[in-house]
Amino acid sequence: MKILLVGASGTLGQAVARHLGQNHEILAAGRRSGALRVDLADDDSVAALFAQTGPVDAVISTTGNVHFGPLQTMTAAQFNSGLQDKLLGQVRLALAAQHHLTPGGSITLTTGIISAQPIRDGVNATAVNQALEGFVRAAALELLPRGLRINAVSPNVLAESLASYGPYFPGFEAVPAQRAALAFQRAVEGIQSGETLTVW
């Protein structure tokens, strides 16, 4: 398959690229690195990305930032930063991707365990991840008649990221990025749609 991977330079993206790259062609894209550049906050940038790739068999997003901070001092602008980046960025990619997939093609987005298990200072992350999973469930119903699929992968905190994010996840069992990459393989090569594949 010809797979467009947005966020290929990140910890999770690198693991997905290594794993799926064994059997598929990976088109690596990112905001600041990768063979292809894209800003998911910009409609024109996303359109330009697909103008470069042409039709693809699968689109994967492993990117997106959210705001971590206490609810008591959170501002609407801070909350909106996660909506604009991780939520709308991935939705924007999916909306464009549906028009550039080959028959039987798929879209895979990334959420996270916080969607189901909230943490301190993670209100924005929970809201964003829940919204993405809702988008996937509903979008799958409209994509199915067209022979297209969409899923989300929800990993636990990554073992490779504990140095940065560990304090936010007390008592959580970190998972290796390589294990999370397996769920992306299931999403791309499998038959399910509208599902959130958990790696907890």
> Could you read off the pLDDT tens digit of each residue along the chain, which spans 200 residues?
999 999 999 999 999 999 999 999 999 999 998 899 999 999 999 999 999 999 999 999 999 999 999 999 999 999 999 999 999 999 999 999 999 999 999 999 999 999 999 999 999 999 999 999 999 999 999 999 999 999 999 999 999 999 999 999 999 999 999 999 999 999 999 999 999 999 99
Residue 34: its pLDDT value, please?
83
Residue 111: its pLDDT value, please?
98
Residue 113: its pLDDT value, please?
98
SS (H, E, C) the chain: CEEEEECCCCHHHHHHHHHHCCCCEEEEEECCCCCEECCCCCHHHHHHHHHHHCCEEEEEECCCCCCCCCHHHCCHHHHHHHHHHHHHHHHHHHHHHCCCEEEEEEEEEECCHHHCCCCCCCHHHHHHHHHHHHHHHHHHHHHHHHCCEEEEEEECCEHHHHHHHHHHCCCCCCECHHHHHHHHHHHHHCCCCCCEEEEC
Residue 64: its pLDDT value, please?
96
Residue 74: its pLDDT value, please?
98
